[in-house]
Amino acid sequence: MAAMALEAHVHTEDSGPVLELVGDVDGRAEEALGDAYTEAGEANAVMLDFHGVSYMNSTGIALIVGLLARARTNGQALSVRGLTPHYREIFEITRLSDFMTIVDEEEGSA
Amino acid sequence: MTALAQTWRKVTRRGGAAQTTEASEEVAVTISTVEAPSVEIAPNDPLVAYLQSSGGAVDVESLELESPGVTALREAGVALVVPLISGGELVGTLNLGPRLSDQQYSTDDKRLLDGLAAQAAPALQVAELVQKQAAEARSRERIEQELKVATLIQQNFLPRVLPDLPGWEVAAYYQPAREVGGDFYDLFELPDGQVAVIIGDVTDKGVPAAMVMAAARSLLRASGQRVVSPGEVLERVNDLLCPDIPEKMFVTCLYLVVDPSTGHVRYANAGHNLPYARTADGSMELRAKGMPLGLLPGMKYEEHEAMMSPGDGLLLYSDGVTEAHGAEREMFGTPRLVEHVADPASGDLIDGLLTQLQRFTGADWEQEDDITLVTLCRTLASGVQNGLVTGIDVRFTLPSETGNEREAMQRVLDAIEPLGLEARRVERLGTAVSEAAMNAIEHGNQGRAEIPVEVEVITTGGELIVRIRDVGDGPQATDVESPDIEAKLAGLQKPRGWGLFLIKNMVDEIRVIDADGRHTVELVLQLEGGDGDGSNGA
């Protein structure tokens, strides 16, 4: 579980753009996350794929909150998939899950 | 036999011929005529027995004895042989040629010669004994001196004190054989707080082995301070030793780096005996392959890892143990050693093993080779009951640099691994530790790297407690308002400020202690009997 700066790749599926996150969602992820979100554009729905994420901390949560705020402004729906049970719990207790859909496994993919 | 040879030398000097014979199994006789052909008489020649019992000078001419010795004496022109007998033992002869007057030796002559021989024989024997003893003493002294030097070198290069590791018991036993071998061991702390543990054995004995041992040990220490990877240390030392090591000598060596706070062990092996760990599940072999040091340059050494839980003990040893012979010449062997390691009832790793070895070899055993034993035992803070690990006491510090919260998390998780907690609880604690450490680094110590964050992991009174301590002169966020995601999304709260909220939700209890200018956050998990599943909001 070595620390690894986040890489975010954008690809498009039937449901819309998917931000594939690989690495750590922490303070160092701000730029990668912001850039990828910008790249995803003005689609109605944006998916965050957490399959490649093994670590997230409170600064990372703040970044997701930031994305949510942007999505709200843009009138976009934000979803997340690939959460481990632990990070799913964190999405729930922070109530992030009240504002974005947590997709169970691969049902949202093409 | 040496005695005889030396006697002959004295005798022949009288005649001026400087012939000597160093034969050890033969009686050598040298004759002092002008041509002075040497005469050799075999020890089993009947002449020897004849002279021993002759009672005086013997006329060679008239001697009726079938003997190559007599023939040889005649050929050499010896007319009269006077045996030199001392304590009933033939210690030499006086060999005389024909009288210059061409007359026979008279009875008086013979009596005179016999008298002379009776005086000379014991004197010769005594002189010879003295000479022999002096030579033996010199050689013994030289060997003793060499042993002393070898022992001195060896002992000077063994650690005088062992490092004091909290939560560990470290012990070493070293008993050189009379003819000192090349065993060595070393333990020293590395700059990052880990500890290097080394055991090795140089082929050969005495001063040469001690010299190579000293060189190897110094190279290992120097490389160990610069490089942490055990495989790389062995690789370097091997390359440095190869050009200088005497031919046919090499060094076996096991190199371990132990993290005392977590029990994590990294190791590599250069042809040394494999160490064994005593664990709750029996013995565990720490296997690794590699060529001995000093044989071939450019060798690579496999690196392996192992985990030592509280209660585990590791035994490193030299082949002086396993190759010790019993009364029936059978070897002690590795299986007996492994059996001892596996069975806690067989006693302490070192003392118990020595007792068994003593029983095996018997009382009058002369130790054949150096015996070296090094043990590292991870202790239990509050004991172990029925093989169930309950005690943990791990402390470490980290520089206040962003990113080190990950290190803190990992080390705490390594430390609690023996508790075998449910994976979800472990993950929650990990997140809590990471958040608390990040607060300590960024707020408490204000990111000043030189101020350490102190971490303690202990189990006590049915609780697992992780203490994270900073100097606490930064603003503390001990009881901030609960973060509200709606307020954050509406821009009424900053997006950040989740740390403490997360911590509170990840552990069973959080205690904050401000005392003596230091700020301590205690993260508490109830162990069995407490709030078992520790679930929070999930």
Tell me which of B402, B406, B412, B503 to substitute to probe the interface with A (most A C-beta atoms closer than 10 Å). Answer: B406
CATH of region B157-378, choose from 3.60.40.10, 3.30.70.20, 3.40.50.300, 3.30.930.10: 3.60.40.10
Average pLDDT estimate for B95-107: 85
CATH of region B2-131, choose from 3.30.450, 3.30.70, 1.20.120, 3.40.50: 3.30.450
Structure tokens given for B225:
């301070």
pLDDT of residue B476: 56
Sign of CA dihedral B331, B333, B335, B340: positive
pLDDT tens profile B359-376: 898 878 888 888 999 999
Average pLDDT estimate for B422-436: 94
Closest approach of chain B CAs to the CA of A42, in angstroms? 19
Name the residue facing A72 among B438, B489, B538 (closest C-beta). Answer: B489
Indicate yes or no: CB of B495 within 8 angstroms of CB of A69: yes
Cα(B213)–Cα(B200) distance, integer angstroms: 8
The model's confidence at residue B382, banded by pLDDT at 50, 70 and 90, is very low
Domain ranges of chain B: 2-131, 157-378, 384-526
Domains B2-131 and B157-378 are alike in CATH topology: no
B10 phi, psi to nearest 5 deg: -60, -45
Cα(B280)–Cα(B384) distance, integer angstroms: 10
A56 DSSP β-pair partners = A25
Please determine, for the modelled complex, whether the ipTM score is greater than 0.85.
Answer: yes
Name the residue facing A57 among B424, B438, B491 (closest C-beta). Answer: B438
B239 phi, psi to nearest 5 deg: -65, -35
Per-residue DSSP letter, B188: E
Q: Which helix (H) or strand (E) holds B420?
A: none
Structure tokens given for B220:
């290992």
The model's confidence at residue B344, banded by pLDDT at 50, 70 and 90, is confident
pLDDT tens profile B179-232: 777 899 999 999 888 999 999 999 888 888 888 999 999 999 999 988 889 999
Least confident span in A33-37, A75-79, B376-380: B376-380
Indicate yes or no: CB of A94 within 8 angstroms of CB of B489: no
The model's confidence at residue B538, banded by pLDDT at 50, 70 and 90, is very low
Alpha helices in B16-175 (DSSP H): 46-54, 68-75, 107-156
Query: What domains, with CATH codes, occur in chain A?
Result: 11-105 (3.30.750.24)
pLDDT tens profile B518-527: 888 999 998 8
Whether CATH 3.40.50.10240 fits B384-526: no
